[in-house]
């Protein structure tokens, strides 16, 4: 008997526009000890499915039909009191945001103790002992002391471990993990994923893993289900699925991933957008965006095929013509467009030279708020960039990479060092001169929702730079330029009169790019421009950026934590750790032959789709220290698997390993 | 006659002009229109808006002031009376002039106090004398009063129904034309509330209002509908006159403090540094003085200044008006701090947003960023706090006037009405009508303002509107 | 922690100086002592001698800021600013127009004020928080809807009517307790009951609505979902998780008024004839006794600043993030 069996689950959300069919006819099973990964892009209904199982829906949501059998008992038929016995007991859940999911004013011990009292009837000393065991089990050292502490005293990764300990406290048979590592850095993610896998093996627990990251699913899952627009479209074992996905949507998802071997080609994208879930569907939900659509797709809702073989897919392509397709299958088509030219003649003179850049923020304390110390957010960063090239600045959150970008643009006043743009020293430039240069260097931000003023029309937003810098000439000339720009980024000039809220995340990011392009910049600082976007949309933006670089000769300073994007887009890479660049060089050098132990660990921590066994996953110990109190010597040595005594003594100097490859590590001195 | 423009009149009309201007501004901006449409969709919002409009109309009519010409005395060029009247006084002339000797109950024909009168036979008796105006047309009160009152009430109600039907018919015809449907269909949709805007709520509120106003109007021709007060003034007249004072305090106070609060809040939040410290110090200091005491101190000072310089004012009305305006200013000075603090906090948040940083990356000046990006994005907070403050200010006026630091005693307001009537419930027999009239009018005004403010807040700050959730237990 | 408290204390000093300067400006510069004298003595028939006498009696016959005729330190100290404003810092308030010492008066009147204000405050807080919790528990039901309607209606009624109506019903119609007056000792109960109940009733509307909004905001947060995912009952979630977090915003608004309870309530005390500081203030305003008003303004500010300090300290009790950093 399976541990969990979901049958035709249907859940609607009430809205002004009618019921939103957030979860529609979803069925799957989880074996004891098995992991079922629910994959899909944002808004596809995967989290809502999990909340329906827990019966923790928002107040507008109601389950309309189906059964949820946990160990044979239908959860949807239980009374609320019975259901409370199940929640946190037989079935526990961990959430995406460890920062907000723990109660800030209760100690960790109390929050775990609550579950022990509720489901294990443990109190007092027995409960304290059990709580300590749980913290030990999830790898939190010094458990006795940590139980007295509050969530704000834990780092993000540690908080997620606390969440896991809390979920384990009821000794659940099924653990639901809703994007458990999305809010974490990649090295911390590796720690947590390893922990989840180990715990599951030890306890023989079933797991429902919800993720948007195919790599994570590949690492942890035994079976995989792909959701699109509220329904499952494909359910298969992990091995079969990752060998050859069958549904056109899944195929598209894989093809949209940026990968090194796709560097010279255009990424596949999915046309259009997810349909509104308030509509009554009469055909396949993916039909409007499907490259292999045919008339039947629009008229008839596809049925499941191949359920008996363990590889089920919901697509008409596998219908009557099973045999014919079995051979060819709707395989990914090779991209037809010619590769975007990125190999321009390298200009002799560098566009941007940054030397020993420092940005320190004072820490104020005491009665008179005197500066008692400094956060060395950026502590001696040097880099250079020429026209038509992309330099990726890679690092985890808090390493200072965004601060570097802002300091280069003089949006933050650097504490020291020099920034030369086209030979001019920006840090010493009078305000009026600087203002004239601002047109030549622009920035694209991470959050497409915060980067456009909600009170302005798109036309005014794009025109803003022209008006602020007094460029663009007469109003009609400006209007022409605006129309040109919006079409340049792939939108229509008819959209200029609209407001940002009418646009999707990807469209907003295009508008933000058009706004930056308006003043004809030579340097574009891209601060994580795709990290808030779904994979298929990310592919569109990456294609656009690549195409613009080829056409306009733009230089990109690409700030990111996403290694896959670096592999696809960058020419050079600089890896930052705690305010300093630890390694830099050409993209092949860094990604193929990383020298610095941190770079090695960072690269190996990324969950891979093509695990070729070439690299052993290196899981780093501990968290990144605070930049206000960096460790003495090499900042990385407390976490470094290859640390030597001298690492604690001094920060290593830069070693040249080739024409372009430089590293700061004693291993290479 | 010669028109007189009191200071508060000028500001009231300025406010009306601002209202019209912002209406035009809003109608050109989709995102603002969308929010106002949400106000229109709220039943409570539309009903309370209807009532507020009625109050505002009375207030505006009462803001058109003039001085009547005096009868030219034998060949002399006629001067102007020292008394300032408003259009409302003209409309309510009979009520205004129909003063009695002292208390009389609502709709009474007799005074509420016995008087000793000399009977025709020379003997003296203590009787309730007939009123000079209320029910004076009745020859035999005993016999005719009931019939007369009923008749007048019915006549008024009939008029109200007629007027109400006219309004409904106009609305239905307008709607039918707009939607291109027949009038029956339009009526059905309005009646069932299937329209986008809650027209049925507005019409219902209007109907209730007419049903009360019609009979009152009809009865007012022959009686004191709400009785008379201690010096024989008609209570209905007093309550209607009080409306303007309440509205002026509730709106002008906001008008005078708004520029300071907005400018200082934005600058403190955006510029930061010592400017921020200074502005914070300023409002913390002002805030630390208990409001009532600061108002009391300031009003005492204004009173001294006004009393010291009787020559500043041509008429008593102008003097009272100056004091009303001063009260608005003082209330404004004491009440801007809350909004300023809110705006500072919001600006601090907005300053870090990426669209502001994008503007900074273009080298846009602080003034440009404040004007183009920050101000439009905090306007909803300003609006919400303006409508929320209104009801509080109307209530504050009553308390302050009661304490004696409010409006001039000669200004008719809810506060002065309550102040003069406060001991009436302790009388034997009880005189309840002045207090009840003030209570009901004030309650309706403040309640309508509160409900409207809620509708505006829900429409403009969906974060709060969405905070209603239900128990997780009731599903499946 | 200690540095934080010391810093808050130091910050209070410039604010008190600001308040002092402001009152000085308001009472002595905008209107001169001459104006005040004329006002008190009647505008029409007032002689210069009478004014001089009035000023001398109250010590207003000195220069404002700098005394040319005095010697040494007295040049600064023998002035209105020093005598009337600076001395407020030492809590020397001088004498009222009736000749009584203001400081003494304040000390004796504090008792009755507190006797009303403290029970009103405590009972009011208890009632409104309970009511708000009830509404939050039954959120999005009819009970909640009508509860909110009741709150809006109650907050639309002027506090004057609560007092007038309460007095009329309870004392005049039902003859339950005396209408007004005050007595010491246990006897005071009879006189305090009505004003306290009325004070509580008058505050129910707006406070309940505010607390309800806070509770609902907390209920929407992620950690509440976590608590439910543990299998806790809705009541446990409300009392163990939501209430404790909601205390932080509630304290912000509540603690600051605690010291101000000393000042009593202007309206309640004057309606019920309670000899507290509230009625003292009202009498002073009506008699235009500037010395008393000035003293009360200063005390009010001191108490308000004390309230801000208490608020900051109270955070450390409920919020570990403040306590431990």
pLDDT tens digits along A412-436: 999 999 999 988 899 988 988 898 8
Q: Which chains touch A (3 or more CB pairs under 8 A)?
A: B, C
Interface test with A, best of B25, B30, B31, B472 (most A CBs within 10 A): B472
List the structure tokens of C155. 């907050």
Q: What's the whole-number mean pLDDT along residues C179-205? A: 83
Q: How far apart are CA C47 and CA C52, in angstroms?
A: 9
CB atoms < 10 A from the CB of A645, how many?
Answer: 9
Q: What's the whole-number mean pLDDT along residues B428-446? A: 90
Least confident interval from B330-334, C21-25, C175-179: C175-179
- C164 vs B305, B435, B447: nearest CB: B435
Query: What's the mean per-residue pLDDT of chain A?
Result: 88
pLDDT band at residue C230 under the 50/70/90 scheme:
very high
Looking at the complex, does the CB of residue B72 fall below 8 Å from at least one CB of chain A? no
Cα–Cα distances (Å) from C116 to A463, B92, C128, C190, C301, in that order, read: 63, 45, 18, 12, 21
- Whether the pLDDT of residue B475 is over 50: the answer is no
List the structure tokens of A187. 């090295």
Is the CB of B288 less than 8 angstroms away from the CB of C234?
A: no
Q: What share of chain B is helix, strand, coil (3-state, %, to 5)?
A: 70, 5, 25
List the structure tokens of A368. 């008179």
Calculate what percentage of chain A has a pLDDT beyond 90.
57
List the structure tokens of A580. 């300093």
Q: Any idea which residue has 């945001």 for tokens?
A: A97
- Can you give the pLDDT at residue A365? 75
- Can you give the pLDDT at residue C162? 92
Q: How far apart are CA B262 and CA B390, in angstroms?
A: 17
Least confident interval from A284-288, A600-604, B464-468: B464-468
Looking at the complex, does the CB of residue C151 fall below 8 Å from at least one CB of chain A? no
Interface test with A, best of C141, C217, C223 (most A CBs within 10 A): C223
Nearest to B449 by CA among B382, B381, B379, B393: B393
- A100 vs C222, C233, C244: nearest CB: C222
DSSP B104: B
Looking at the complex, does the CB of residue A447 fall below 8 Å from at least one CB of chain B? yes
- Whether the pLDDT of residue A342 is over 60: the answer is no
- Can you give the pLDDT at residue B77? 58
Interface test with A, best of B273, B350, B476 (most A CBs within 10 A): B476
Looking at the complex, does the CB of residue B472 fall below 8 Å from at least one CB of chain A? yes
- Can you give the pLDDT at residue B468? 31
Q: A-chain residues within 8 Å CB-CB of C320?
A: 104-105, 107, 150, 152
CB atoms < 10 A from the CB of B17, how many?
Answer: 10
- B361 vs A57, A80, A411: nearest CB: A411
- Can you give the pLDDT at residue B441? 94
Q: How far apart are CA A32 and CA A26, in angstroms?
A: 20
Q: How far apart are CA B242 and CA B438, in angstroms?
A: 9
- Can you give the pLDDT at residue A115? 94
Q: Tell me which H or E stretch contains A91.
A: strand A91-94
pLDDT band at residue A42 under the 50/70/90 scheme:
confident
Nearest to B322 by CA among B338, B343, B304, B302: B302
Calculate what percentage of chain A has a pLDDT beyond 70.
94
Is the CB of C226 less than 8 angstroms away from the CB of A59?
A: no
Chain A nearest CA to B368, separation (Å): 9
pLDDT band at residue B124 under the 50/70/90 scheme:
confident
Calculate what percentage of chain B has a pLDDT beyond 90.
38
Radius of gyration of chain A (CA): 26
pLDDT tens digits along A304-335: 888 888 899 999 888 755 444 444 444 444 44
**Higher model confidence: residue C146 or residue A337?**
C146
pLDDT band at residue C294 under the 50/70/90 scheme:
confident
- Whether the pLDDT of residue B76 is over 70: the answer is no
> Does residue A27 sit in helix, strand or coil?
strand
- Whether the pLDDT of residue A140 is over 50: the answer is yes
Beta pairing partners, C112: none
If you measure CA to CA, which chain C residue comes closest to A83?
C231
Looking at the complex, does the CB of residue B310 fall below 8 Å from at least one CB of chain A? no
- Whether the pLDDT of residue A497 is over 60: the answer is yes
pLDDT band at residue B462 under the 50/70/90 scheme:
low
pLDDT band at residue A336 under the 50/70/90 scheme:
very low
- Can you give the pLDDT at residue A326? 41
For β-strands A390-394 and A572-577, DSSP reports them as parallel
Q: Is the dihedral of CA C168, C173, C179, C184 positive or negative?
A: negative
Residues of A with CB under 8 A from a CB of C: 54, 56, 59, 81, 84-89, 92-93, 95, 97, 100-107, 114-115, 118-119, 150, 152-153, 163, 166, 170, 365-369
Query: What's the mean per-residue pLDDT of chain B?
Result: 86
Is the CB of B364 less than 8 angstroms away from the CB of A464?
A: yes
**Higher model confidence: residue A320 or residue A350?**
A350
Q: Tell me which H or E stretch contains A61.
A: strand A61-70
Q: Any idea which residue has 């419930």 for tokens?
A: B425
CA torsion angle A509 A514 A520 A522 (round to 10): 20
- B377 vs A455, A499, A516: nearest CB: A455
Looking at the complex, does the CB of residue B356 fall below 8 Å from at least one CB of chain C? no
- Whether the pLDDT of residue A338 is over 50: the answer is no
Q: C-chain residues within 8 Å CB-CB of A59?
A: 140
Beta pairing partners, A206: A174
> Does residue C290 sit in helix, strand or coil?
helix
| Cβ atoms of residues C225 and C152 within 8 Å | no
Cα–Cα distances (Å) from A369 to A415, C17, C311, in that order, read: 20, 22, 21
Is the CB of B364 less than 8 angstroms away from the CB of A468?
A: yes
- Whether the pLDDT of residue A337 is over 60: the answer is no
Tally helices (H) and strands (E) across chain C. 16, 0
pTM of the model: 0.88
List the structure tokens of A573. 């890479």
Question: What own/partner pairs with CB < 8 Å and gap ≥ 24 does B79-85 have?
Answer: B80/B1, B80/B2, B82/B314, B82/B315, B82/B316, B83/B315, B83/B316, B83/B317, B84/B4, B84/B6, B84/B315, B84/B317, B84/B318
Is the CB of C245 less than 8 angstroms away from the CB of A103?
A: yes
Is the CB of C155 less than 8 angstroms away from the CB of B450?
A: yes
Looking at the complex, does the CB of residue A434 fall below 8 Å from at least one CB of chain B? yes
- Surface of B (457-476) touching C: CB under 8 A: 464, 467-473
Q: What's the whole-number mean pLDDT along residues A144-149? A: 92
| Cβ atoms of residues A234 and A47 within 8 Å | no
pLDDT tens digits along A61-116: 899 999 999 999 999 999 999 999 999 999 999 998 888 999 999 999 999 999 99
- Whether the pLDDT of residue C215 is over 90: the answer is yes
- Can you give the pLDDT at residue B128? 84
**DSSP string of C189-247?**
HHHHHHHHHHHHHHHHHHHHHHHHHHHHHHHTSHHHHHHHHTT--HHHIIIIIIHHHHH
Looking at the complex, does the CB of residue A445 fall below 8 Å from at least one CB of chain B? yes
Q: What backbone torsions phi and psi does residue A233 show, to the nearest 5 degrees?
A: -115, -15
Q: C-chain residues within 8 Å CB-CB of A366?
A: 3, 7
Q: What's the whole-number mean pLDDT along residues B166-191? A: 87
DSSP alpha helix (H) spans, A530-570? 535-552, 563-569
Specify the length of chain C in residues.
325
Q: A-chain residues within 8 Å CB-CB of C317?
A: none
pLDDT tens digits along A184-201: 888 899 999 999 999 999
If you measure CA to CA, which chain B residue comes closest to C303?
B288
Q: What's the whole-number mean pLDDT along residues B152-174? A: 92
List the structure tokens of B111. 């005074």
- Whether the pLDDT of residue B465 is over 60: the answer is no
| Cβ atoms of residues A621 and A188 within 8 Å | no
| Contact partners, residue C204, CB within 8 Å, separation at least 6 | C124, C127, C128, C131, C151, C154
| Cβ atoms of residues A180 and A219 within 8 Å | no
- Surface of C (265-284) touching A: CB under 8 A: none
Q: How far apart are CA C278 and CA C195, in angstroms?
A: 13
Cα–Cα distances (Å) from A469 to A151, A406, A464, B361, in that order, read: 47, 19, 8, 10
- Surface of B (388-407) touching C: CB under 8 A: 391, 395, 398-399, 402-405
Calculate what percentage of chain C has a pLDDT beyond 90.
31
- Can you give the pLDDT at residue A378? 92
Nearest to B438 by CA among B153, B241, B211, B230: B241
Q: C-chain residues within 8 Å CB-CB of B304?
A: 31, 35-36, 39
């Amino acid at each position: 008997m399976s541990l969990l069996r979901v049958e035709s689950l249907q859940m609607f959300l009430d809205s002004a526009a009618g019921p939103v069919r957030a979860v529609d006819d979803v069925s799957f099973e989880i074996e004891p000890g098995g992991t079922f990964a629910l994959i899909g892009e944002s808004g596809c209904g995967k989290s809502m499915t999990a909340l329906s199982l827990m019966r923790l829906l928002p107040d507008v949501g109601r389950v309309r039909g189906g059964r949820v059998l946990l160990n044979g008992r239908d959860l949807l038929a239980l009374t609320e009191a019975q259901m409370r016995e199940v929640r946190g007991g037989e079935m526990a859940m961990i959430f995406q945001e460890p920062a907000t999911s723990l109660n800030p004013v209760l100690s960790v011990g109390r929050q775990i103790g609550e579950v022990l009292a509720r489901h294990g009837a443990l109190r007092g000393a027995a409960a304290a002992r059990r709580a300590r065991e749980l913290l030990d089990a999830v790898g939190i050292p010094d458990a006795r002391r940590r139980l007295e502490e509050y969530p704000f005293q834990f780092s993000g990764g540690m908080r997620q471990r606390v969440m896991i300990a809390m979920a384990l406290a009821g000794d659940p048979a099924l653990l639901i993990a809703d994007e458990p590592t999305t809010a974490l850095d990649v090295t911390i993610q590796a720690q947590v994923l390893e922990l989840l896998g180990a715990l599951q093996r030890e306890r023989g627990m079933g797991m429902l893993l919800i993720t948007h990251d195919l790599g994570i699913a590949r690492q942890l899952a035994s079976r995989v289900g792909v959701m699109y627009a509220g329904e499952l479209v494909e359910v298969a074992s992990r091995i079969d699925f990752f060998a050859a996905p069958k549904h056109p949507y899944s195929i598209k998802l894989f093809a949209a991933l940026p990968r090194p071997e796709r560097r010279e080609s255009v990424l596949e994208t999915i046309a259009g957008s997810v349909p509104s879930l308030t509509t009554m569907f009469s055909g396949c939900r993916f039909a409007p965006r499907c490259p292999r659509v045919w008339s039947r797709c629009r008229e008839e809702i596809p049925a499941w095929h191949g359920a008996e073989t363990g590889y089920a897919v919901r697509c008409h392509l596998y219908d009557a013509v099973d045999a014919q397709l079995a051979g060819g299958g709707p395989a990914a088509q090779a991209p037809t467009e010619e590769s975007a030219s990125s190999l321009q003649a390298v200009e002799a003179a560098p566009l941007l030279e940054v030397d020993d850049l420092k940005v320190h923020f004072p820490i104020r304390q005491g009665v008179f708020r005197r500066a008692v110390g400094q956060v060395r957010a950026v502590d001696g960063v040097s880099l250079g960039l020429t026209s038509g090239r992309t330099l990726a600045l890679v690092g985890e959150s808090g390493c200072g990479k965004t601060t570097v970008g802002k300091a280069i643009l003089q949006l933050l006043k650097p504490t020291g060092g020099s920034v030369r743009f086209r030979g001019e020293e920006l840090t010493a430039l009078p305000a009026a001169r600087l203002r004239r240069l601002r047109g030549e260097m622009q920035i694209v931000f991470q959050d497409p929702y915060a980067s456009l003023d909600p009170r302005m029309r798109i036309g005014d937003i794009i025109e803003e730079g022209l008006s602020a810098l007094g460029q663009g000439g007469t109003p009609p000339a400006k209007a022409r330029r605006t129309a040109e720009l919006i079409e340049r980024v792939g939108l229509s000039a008819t959209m200029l009169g609209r407001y940002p809220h009418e646009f999707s995340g990807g469209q907003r990011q295009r508008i933000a790019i058009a706004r930056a392009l308006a003043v004809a910049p030579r340097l574009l600082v891209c601060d994580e421009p795709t990290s808030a976007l779904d994979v298929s949309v990310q592919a569109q933006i990456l294609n656009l950026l690549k195409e613009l670089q080829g056409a306009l000769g733009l230089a990109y300073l690409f700030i990111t934590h996403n290694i896959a994007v670096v592999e696809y887009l960058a020419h050079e890479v600089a890896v930052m750790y705690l305010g300093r660049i630890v390694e830099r060089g050409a993209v092949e050098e860094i990604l193929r032959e990383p020298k610095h132990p941190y770079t090695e660990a960072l690269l190996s921590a990324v969950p891979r789709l093509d695990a070729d066994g070439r690299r052993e996953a290196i899981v780093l110990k501990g968290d990144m220290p605070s930049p206000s109190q960096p460790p003495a010597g090499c900042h990385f040595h407390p976490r470094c698997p290859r640390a030597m005594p001298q690492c604690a003594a001094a920060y290593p100097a830069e070693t040249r390993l080739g024409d372009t490859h430089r590293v700061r590590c004693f291993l290479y001195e | 006659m010669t028109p007189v423009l009191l200071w508060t009149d000028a500001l009231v009309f300025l406010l009306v002009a601002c209202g019209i201007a912002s209406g035009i501004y809003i109608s050109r901006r989709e995102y603002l229109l969308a929010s106002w449409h949400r106000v229109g969709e709220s039943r409570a919002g539309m009903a309370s808006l209807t009532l507020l409009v009625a109050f505002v109309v009375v207030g505006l009519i009462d803001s058109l002031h003039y001085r009547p010409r005096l009868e030219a005395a034998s060949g002399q060029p006629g001067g102007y009376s020292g008394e300032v009247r408003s259009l409302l006084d003209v409309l309510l002339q009979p009520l205004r002039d129909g003063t009695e000797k002292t208390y009389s109950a609502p709709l009474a024909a007799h005074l509420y106090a016995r008087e000793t009168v000399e009977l025709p036979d020379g003997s003296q008796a203590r009787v309730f004398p007939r009123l000079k105006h209320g029910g004076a047309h009745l020859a035999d009160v005993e016999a005719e009063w009931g019939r007369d009152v009923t008749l007048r009430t019915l006549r008024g109600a009939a008029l109200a129904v007629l007027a109400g039907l006219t309004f409904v018919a106009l609305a239905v015809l307008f709607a039918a034309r707009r939607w291109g449907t027949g009038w029956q269909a339009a009526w059905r949709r309005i009646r069932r509330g299937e329209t986008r805007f809650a027209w049925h709520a507005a019409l219902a509120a209007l109907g209730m209002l007419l049903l009360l106003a019609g009979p009152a109007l009809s009865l007012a021709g022959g009686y004191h509908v709400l009785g008379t007060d201690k010096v024989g003034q008609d209570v209905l007249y007093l309550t209607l006159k009080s409306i303007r004072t309440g509205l002026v305090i509730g709106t002008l106070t906001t008008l005078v403090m708004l520029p300071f609060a907005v400018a200082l809040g934005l600058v403190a939040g955006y510029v930061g540094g010592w400017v921020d410290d200074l502005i914070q110090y300023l409002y913390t200091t002002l805030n630390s003085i208990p409001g009532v005491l600061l108002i009391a101190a300031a009003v005492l000072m204004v009173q001294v200044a006004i009393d010291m310089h009787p020559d500043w004012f041509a008429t008593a009305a102008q003097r009272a008006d100056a004091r009303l305006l001063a009260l608005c200013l003082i209330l404004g000075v004491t009440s801007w701090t809350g909004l300023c603090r809110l705006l500072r906090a919001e600006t601090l948040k907005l300053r870090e947003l990426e669209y502001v940083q994008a503007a900074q990356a273009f080298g846009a000046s602080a003034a440009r960023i404040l004007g183009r990006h920050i101000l439009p994005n905090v306007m909803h907070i300003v609006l919400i706090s303006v409508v929320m403050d209104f009801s509080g200010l109307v209530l504050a006026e009553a308390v302050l006037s009661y304490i004696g630091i409010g409006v001039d005693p000669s200004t008719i307001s809810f506060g002065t009405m309550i102040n003069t009537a406060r001991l009436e419930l302790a009388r034997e027999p009880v005189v309840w009508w002045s207090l009840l009239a003030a209570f009901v009018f004030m309650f309706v005004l403040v309640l309508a303002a509160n409900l409207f403010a809620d509708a505006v807040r829900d429409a403009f700050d969906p974060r709060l509107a969405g905070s209603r959730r239900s128990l997780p237990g009731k599903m499946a | 922690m200690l540095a934080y408290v010391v810093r808050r204390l130091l910050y209070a000093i410039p604010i008190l100086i600001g308040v002092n300067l402001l009152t000085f400006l308001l009472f002595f510069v905008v209107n001169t002592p001459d104006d005040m004298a004329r006002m008190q003595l009647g505008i029409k028939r007032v002689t210069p001698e009478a004014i001089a006498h009035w000023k001398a009696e109250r010590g207003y016959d000195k220069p404002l800021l700098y005394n040319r005729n005095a010697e040494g330190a007295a040049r600064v100290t023998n002035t209105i600013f020093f005598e009337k404003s600076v001395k407020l810092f030492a809590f020397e308030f001088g004498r009222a127009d009736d000749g009584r010492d203001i400081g003494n008066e304040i000390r004796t009147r504090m008792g009755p004020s507190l006797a009303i204000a403290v029970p009103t405050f405590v009972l009011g807080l208890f009632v409104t928080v309970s009511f708000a919790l009830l509404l939050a528990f039954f959120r999005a039901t009819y009970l909640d809807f009508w509860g909110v309607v009741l709150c809006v209606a109650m907050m639309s009624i002027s506090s004057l009517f609560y007092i007038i109506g309460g007095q009329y019903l309870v004392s005049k119609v039902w003859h339950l307790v005396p209408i007004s007056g005050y007595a010491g000792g246990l006897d005071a109960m009879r006189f305090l009951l009505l004003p306290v109940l009325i004070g509580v009733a008058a505050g129910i509307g707006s406070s309940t609505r505010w607390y309800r909004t806070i509770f609902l905001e907390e209920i929407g947060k992620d950690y509440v979902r976590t608590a439910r995912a543990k299998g806790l009952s809705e009541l446990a979630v409300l009392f163990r998780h939501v209430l404790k977090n909601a205390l932080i915003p509630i304290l912000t608004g509540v603690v600051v008024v605690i010291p101000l309870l000393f000042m009593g309530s202007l309206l309640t005390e004057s309606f019920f004839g309670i000899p507290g500081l509230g009625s003292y203030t009202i009498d002073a305003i009506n008699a235009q006794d500037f010395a008393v008003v000035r003293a009360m303004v200063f005390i009010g500010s001191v108490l308000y600043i004390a309230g801000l300090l208490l608020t900051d300290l109270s955070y450390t009790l409920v919020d570990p993030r403040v306590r431990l950093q």
